[in-house]
Structure 1
Amino acid sequence: MVVLAVPIAAFAQDIGTLPQNLTAWGMFMSADWVVKGVILALAAASVVTWTVLVAKSLELSKAAAGERKAFTAIDGARSLSAAAKLPDSADSPLIAAAVAELKLSADALDDHDGLKERVASRFERIEAALSRRMTKGTTPLGTIGATAPFVGLFGTVWGIMHSFIGISQHQTTNLAVVAPGIAEALLATAIGLIAAIPAVVIYNHFARQIAAYRASVADNSAAVLRLVSRDLSRGIAGKADIRAAE
């Protein structure tokens, strides 16, 4: 019994000297300045993630709705000039590109294949530009998702190293010396995961949404190309209709 009294007394002493405020805020306030910097950087990255989610969701939702309305109008139009006058499709860059190419090719309307090839080339560039515009702003999500765990791991390693330095300085392994550094390390790990996981999920969500948007733009370009082909197939009447669209 006498042998056990010393460890029990030492344990009681360790418990008595443990820091009382081991909340997330308390751990942050007592953390080393390096760990604080890591946590603040990860918190800023998390704010960026949720800001991109809100802004890009609104942008994609509006753009996708516009493409759906434009497709309904274009697909139901009888000719390019008719589609150009409809409210839902009048502002379509695809319609504008088709009309511009037809205007430039006014003296070569008999070359149907060449004309359709030039129109399709314009459409490819427009699709690529719209895709780049929708992708803009999502790159930070991929960066955050890939790097946040490692930034958190750096804070973890630093916190554990800080604990070992405290053990060396105090020449003791009691919990009062070890606990703060371990708590800092675990907090940095948790914040890193909190920043990384949503970023990866949101990035993948936007990747699917942008792919669907690109498909909608491709559907619209195919619909406009059908109108051009239809007008060309009508011969003289079609040419008059094309010139009316100019």
Structure 2
Amino acid sequence: MDFKPCNSCGTCPVGWDNFKNLTEAQIKEIDETRFEARYRAGEMIFKQGTPTPNAVFMADGLAKLYLETEEGKRVIIALIKPGRLIGGPGIFIDDTHYFNLAAVEDSTVCFIGMNMLKKMVHENGDFAEGFLRDISIKGLESLKKIITFSQKKMNGRLAEGLLYLSDKIYNTEDFDCQLTRQEIGELTLMTKESVVRLLKEFDEEGILDVKGGRIKILDKERLNKIMQSG
């Protein structure tokens, strides 16, 4: 489905909730400086270590926010759906991106100048509180993910990753997964080989029906139990 550009952040159908705290005049200021760009699956939207002149709003598609270590290992922090603003912890520190953002499928993003957002933070207390709340929620989600996955065995990690994809990303138990097996491993802190092996085991045990990129959860109750006991 083709994405239709939005005329205003105030009327965007997937708009960031915190924009509701801005006045019409402030929304107009943002609209006059923002711009949209289209990215194809696999393209980098921003790179770790580069400056952050803009916050990125996900308007359409799906992207992955990930960290890359000095050794080249990648850890997917989150999958980004439409309606989410991505700024990162460097916004108010050193104006540096601490993560990478890349399109998983064809995506449209809206770039909003950081200086403009900082101006709104200074001018509008409700917007500032909403911004802090948004950053805090995302930080807690990332911390919870790292702690949870580090304490689970591999089958529990994969079960949790699959439920995350089903419940939070695709909103169905039968989905075409745009992530490669390598990326599923980066999401669940596992190797590609472990993901392939466990998907096969879950398929053979009747928990999943796996056909290439198509994954159907056949026994969600059992998958939940694996996640909880893993």
Check whether TM > 0.5: no
Higher relative CO (CA 8 A, sep ≥ 6), structure 1 or 2? 1
Of Structure 1 and Structure 2, which has the larger fraction of its residues in helix? Answer: 1
Rg larger in 1 or in 2? 1
Q: TM-score, length-normalised on structure 1?
A: 0.24
